[in-house]
């Protein structure tokens, strides 16, 4: 736990404390009375209420639509499965401003729905809810589906042989085993929607606002750092309470499971029900995920002769100090470092938390690991600039600052992905290896690692995806001569003109392609049948 604790203390707790202190502390001391003044304002209370209920509704809708897909990817084998799994993950890494604009093109004025049926959703909360499902669909599919694929299907088959209906067998046998993964996925979806920024900023307009949007408005538009600090504390407290409840409830329900090779659990669809389920899932993916991505690709091709893509190789000296295409190579370098950091930090934390003899202090750190997902990225970005500007940690001019910020968001995904599988490993296997004389390191290498190898690859894929699309904190710390892809897209979108907008769509398409290729490689490694356990 030493390295994870030090990492989160230096690069999360310290920057957040610095920015909050800057907002609430004056020459006359701490202004704690400011907290009451802010939270009692009617407009702030409305923001708090909307933030909470839309996050709950988005989480419920995402689980409703994505759990059938998790079952399909875990239990059914069909042509194009690897490609489709990568496609499902692509929306999750898109910068929110880009994906929000693409979704607006579907449901807004002059959008696809408006053209075909005269239906507009951009003035309703449904646009926000559906866009949140678009972003978080992959979280449920990969987190729940990863464990589902490793559950022994013979346990459910035994219940069927004893007279249970298919639904009863799933509810009484499979669902309790999946409960930790479902809870982890629901928690991540709730945190992302609770702190939603880009989607609400674009689709909500002046009507809807979340805490994250209000923090950004108070910081960048009103320049009221005091109110922004109070809202950050409110968001921090709410997320902390949710994580504490989650850690207590999930811990009570986790048990050792019998895990098998996921390559042996998938079967070709049989019967009308399985084929109908597969068709429904494919239709949902096509309409909810592929269609917005197709809109982005089409817009990037509006200029004749791939004009928007050719313009990426030129630097106008205004928006960028380098050609926009340079952001592709820069992002890959940053993401490689961020993924390595996240896997090491998250892997060590998951291994410590998975031990049955872990004390209360260690188990309490489980909830703290998720706090970076629930704290305003705007706050973290400003905190980096304020806290890490003096020796011995003066990192403002160092390239490592961006990977550190990206890893801070990626590490919780590594923990949440690996922890259910690590806790499901039968502790008697470790004890038997220790009795036979194996050292703790050899026990981990010979017992745990083969069981969690695929979960580790999935965790690395999540860390890669999150790091590639991280925008909230990176936009404040990325250097002008080394912008990441999301930062480059946002800068192009902020400038008027069809050429800038087209280049933004072209860079977004490149971002999708890079992510899809990386995820396809990951899928090939993940489904490698060598080294059966």
* Reduced 3-state DSSP string for 229-271: HHHHHHHHHHHHHHHHHHHHHHHHHCCCCCECCHHHCCECCCH
Q: How far apart are CA 485 and CA 185, in angstroms?
A: 27
Res 529: pLDDT: 40
Res 343: pLDDT: 92
Res 265: pLDDT: 66
Sign of CA dihedral 136, 143, 373, 389: negative
Query: What are the distances in angstroms from CA 49 to CA 44, 307, 355, 376, 454?
Result: 9, 46, 38, 17, 40
Q: Residue-wise over 207-236: b if at least 16 C-beta within 10 A, else e?
A: ebbbbbbbbbbbbeeeeebbbbbbbbbbbb
Each of the 533 residues of the chain gets a pLDDT tens digit; together they read: 889 989 988 888 888 888 777 777 766 666 667 778 888 888 888 889 999 999 999 999 999 999 999 988 888 888 888 788 878 887 877 767 777 777 777 776 666 677 777 767 766 788 889 889 998 998 899 888 877 887 777 777 787 788 777 778 777 877 888 888 888 888 888 888 888 877 887 787 777 888 888 887 887 777 777 787 888 888 878 877 777 776 666 555 555 555 555 555 667 777 788 889 889 999 999 988 888 888 878 878 888 878 888 888 876 655 666 777 888 888 889 999 999 999 999 988 888 887 766 666 666 677 677 778 767 777 787 788 778 877 777 787 788 888 998 898 888 888 878 887 887 777 777 778 888 888 888 887 787 777 777 778 878 887 887 788 787 778 778 877 788 888 888 778 777 777 887 888 888 888 878 777 776 776 665 554 433 32
Res 282: pLDDT: 92
SS3 316: coil
Q: How far apart are CA 513 and CA 503, in angstroms?
A: 15
SS3 184: helix
Q: Is 305 left (phi over 0), alpha (psi -120 to 50) or beta?
A: left
Q: How far apart are CA 214 and CA 511, in angstroms?
A: 28
Residue 503: alpha-carbon gap to chain centroid: 26
Yes or no: say if 492 and 500 are a contact pair by the CB < 8 Å rule.
yes
Yes or no: say if 403 and 390 are a contact pair by the CB < 8 Å rule.
no
Q: Give the pTM.
A: 0.75
Res 58: pLDDT: 94
Res 442: pLDDT: 84
Neighbours of 297 (CB within 10 A): 15
Q: Is 437 left (phi over 0), alpha (psi -120 to 50) or beta?
A: left
Yes or no: say if 86 and 523 are a contact pair by the CB < 8 Å rule.
yes
Q: How far apart are CA 135 and CA 293, in angstroms?
A: 12
Query: What are the distances in angstroms from CA 77 to CA 34, 141, 256, 269, 275?
Result: 57, 15, 27, 7, 11
Per the document, the length of the chain is 533
């Amino acid at each position: 736990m030493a390295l994870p604790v030090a990492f989160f203390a230096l690069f999360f707790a310290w920057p957040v404390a610095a920015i909050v202190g800057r907002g609430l502390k004056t020459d006359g001391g701490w202004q704690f009375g400011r907290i009451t003044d802010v939270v009692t304002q009617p407009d702030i209370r409305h923001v708090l209420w909307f933030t909470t209920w839309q996050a709950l509704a988005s989480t419920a809708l995402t689980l409703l639509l994505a759990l059938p897909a998790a079952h399909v990817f875990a239990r059914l084998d069909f042509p194009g499965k690897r490609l489709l799994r990568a496609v499902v993950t692509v929306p999750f890494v898109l910068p929110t401003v880009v994906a929000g604009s693409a979704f607006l093109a579907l449901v807004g004025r002059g959008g696809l729905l408006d053209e075909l049926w005269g239906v507009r959703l951009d003035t309703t909360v449904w646009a926000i809810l559906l866009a949140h499902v678009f972003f978080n669909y992959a979280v449920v599919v990969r987190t729940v589906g990863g464990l589902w694929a490793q559950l022994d299907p013979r346990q459910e088959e035994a219940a069927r042989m004893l007279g249970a209906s298919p639904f009863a067998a799933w509810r009484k046998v499979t669902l309790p085993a999946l409960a930790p993964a479902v809870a982890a996925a629901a928690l991540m979806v709730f945190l992302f929607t609770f702190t939603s920024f880009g989607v609400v900023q674009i689709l909500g307009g002046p009507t809807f606002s979340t805490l994250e949007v209000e923090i950004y408005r108070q910081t960048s538009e009103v320049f009221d750092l005091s109110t922004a600090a109070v809202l950050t504390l409110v968001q921090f407290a709410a997320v902390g309470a949710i994580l504490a409840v989650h850690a207590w409830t999930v811990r009570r329900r986790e048990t050792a499971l019998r895990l098998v090779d996921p390559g042996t659990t998938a079967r070709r669809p049989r019967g009308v029900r399985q084929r109908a389920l597969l068709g429904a899932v494919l239709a949902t993916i096509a309409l909810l995920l592929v269609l917005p991505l197709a809109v982005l690709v089409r817009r990037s091709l509006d200029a004749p002769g791939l004009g928007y893509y050719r313009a990426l190789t030129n630097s106008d000296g205004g928006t960028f100090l380098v050609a926009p295409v340079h952001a592709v190579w820069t992002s890959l370098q940053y993401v490689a470092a961020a993924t390595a950091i996240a896997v090491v930090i998250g892997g060590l934390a998951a291994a410590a938390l998975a031990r049955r003899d872990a004390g209360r202090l260690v188990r309490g750190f489980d909830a703290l690991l998720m706090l970076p997902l629930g704290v305003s990225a705007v706050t973290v970005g400003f905190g980096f600039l304020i806290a890490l500007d003096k020796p011995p940690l003066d990192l403002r001019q160092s390239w490592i600052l961006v990977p550190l910020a990206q890893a801070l968001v990626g590490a919780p995904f590594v923990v949440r992905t690996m922890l259910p599988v690590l806790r499901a490993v039968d502790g008697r296997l470790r004890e038997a290896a220790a009795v036979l004389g194996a050292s703790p390191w050899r026990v981990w290498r010979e017992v745990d690692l083969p069981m969690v190898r695929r979960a580790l690859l999935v965790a690395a894929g999540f860390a890669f995806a999150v790091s590639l699309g991280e925008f909230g904190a990176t936009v404040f710390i990325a250097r002008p001569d080394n912008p990441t892809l999301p930062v480059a897209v946002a800068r192009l979108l902020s400038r008027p003109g069809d050429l800038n907008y087209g280049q933004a769509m072209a860079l977004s398409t490149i971002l999708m392609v890079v992510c899809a290729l990386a995820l396809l490689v990951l899928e090939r490694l993940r489904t490698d049948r060598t080294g059966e356990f």
